[in-house]
Structure 1
Amino acid sequence: MEQVRQTRNVAVLIFEQVEPLDFAGPFEVFIAGSNSGQDFNVFTVAENDSPIKASGGLSINPAYTIANCPKPDILVVPGGWGSRKEMNNETITNWIRETSNDVEIILSVCTGALLLAKATLLDGLKVTTNRLAINELRDVVPTSTEILEEARYVDNGKIVLSAGVSAGMDAALYVVEKLLGEDTAIEAANIMEYDWKRD
């Protein structure tokens, strides 16, 4: 008899001036790879329950706050212009650090790496971010952190980081493959009619 697989909670962090595709791309990937919601329960989470205004003026209502969201198994930390402000928001970075203790995987997209750096999660890891933000990342990571400027995404085990914007979708598909197998990831890419660029 096939063992029933437990649904994993995928929390997608959003904040003011988040880059839309940084969070919506991985959100869509996990939905497409969820087997109609059986494998992944995907939701947004923000510091509070006020509508979030993403880059370009897109307004999003978070499903949960960091105080009441279901316990994440996977945490997606996107980037965008707002990450430069939120990296200094200790409420957010403390929550990321605390959440990191119990999650299976953290996926950073683009300048979400800045938040992970400020949450002191990148010590000794190999990391990447948006090509245009490499120097910003270099300024906030410890000397033990190795920045891979040309990597589309990089896997440290628990922490996976991707380069900018659409690279987050590639990394999310990689996470689906890592957890549920290549066939599921390929099927998810096909559902989205997306040309998956593997690293």
Structure 2
Amino acid sequence: MEQARQARNVAILIFEHVEPLDFVGPFEVFISGSNDGKDFNVYTIAEHDSPVKAFGGLSINPTYTIATCPKPDILIVPGGWGSRKEMLNETITKWIREVSDEIEIILSVCTGALILAKANLLDGLNVTTNRSAVNELRDIVPATTVILDEARYVDNGKIILSGGVSAGMDASLYVLEKLWGKDRAINAANIMEYDWKKA
């Protein structure tokens, strides 16, 4: 009898002043595309186990800390105003760098690209971010990094980057398609009644 494949762990990083849709959008995509939880185990992670206050005052209790979470197969790094502080948080950037070798896919949303840049993961890649943060990203990436400021999302293999806010949902659906096929992604978009904008 064929052994069932274990659900992939999808860890979504949250932090103070994270943009809500940057993390809730991908959360919804992977839940909707999870085949009733059989294919994805989706959870939030933070540096500490105390409630995190997102942009606009939304309070979230992280499921795990970065020290206690199950090993991620997919890591979502959202953006928002708080990313400017978190990109300087060596605890976070060091953790991302250390786990990156064993992760199947890392997806940044919006200014989550700034955090990946500070984790030294964007050398030689094609990248994108929120249009309003392109210059900030340009200031911190290596000269070998190519910024595609009009791209909705960009696939470098392991590392996928998306533009602002709702683009993270489009990129998440793209990841779903990449892993489980077009029908799964379309079905998830239909469940959410979401108009998927492909890159």
- TM-score, normalised by the number of residues in structure 2: 0.99
- Alpha-carbon distance between aligned partners in 2 of 1:87 and 1:38, rounded to the nearest angstrom: 33
| 1:101 matched residue in structure 2 | 101
Residue-by-residue CA offset, 1:75-103 (whole Å, 9 max, x unaligned):
00000000000000000000111111100
Residue-by-residue CA offset, 1:115-147 (whole Å, 9 max, x unaligned):
000000000000000000000000110000000
- Alpha-carbon distance between aligned partners in 1 of 2:30 and 2:100, rounded to the nearest angstrom: 19
Give unmatched runs, 5+ long, in structure 1: none
What is the identity, as a one-letter code, of the residue corresponding to 1:192? M
| 2:18 matched residue in structure 1 | 18
| 2:159 matched residue in structure 1 | 159
Equivalent pairs counted in the alignment come to 199
- TM-score, normalised by the number of residues in structure 1: 0.99
What is the identity, as a one-letter code, of the residue corresponding to 2:113? A
Taking only the aligned residue pairs, the percentage that are identical comes to 79
| 2:48 matched residue in structure 1 | 48
- Alpha-carbon distance between aligned partners in 2 of 1:139 and 1:3, rounded to the nearest angstrom: 48
Give unmatched runs, 5+ long, in structure 2: none
Q: Secondary structure at the match of 1:56?
A: coil
How much does 1:3 deviate? Answer: 5.9
- Alpha-carbon distance between aligned partners in 2 of 1:98 and 1:13, rounded to the nearest angstrom: 15
What is the identity, as a one-letter code, of the residue corresponding to 1:104? E
How much does 1:68 deviate? Answer: 0.3
Residue-by-residue CA offset, 1:30-62 (whole Å, 9 max, x unaligned):
000000000000000000001000000000000
Matches within 5 A, 1:78-117: 78-117=78-117
| 2:37 matched residue in structure 1 | 37
Q: Answer yes or no: is 1:181 the counterpart of 2:160.
A: no
What is the identity, as a one-letter code, of the residue corresponding to 2:64? Y
- Alpha-carbon distance between aligned partners in 2 of 1:93 and 1:16, rounded to the nearest angstrom: 15
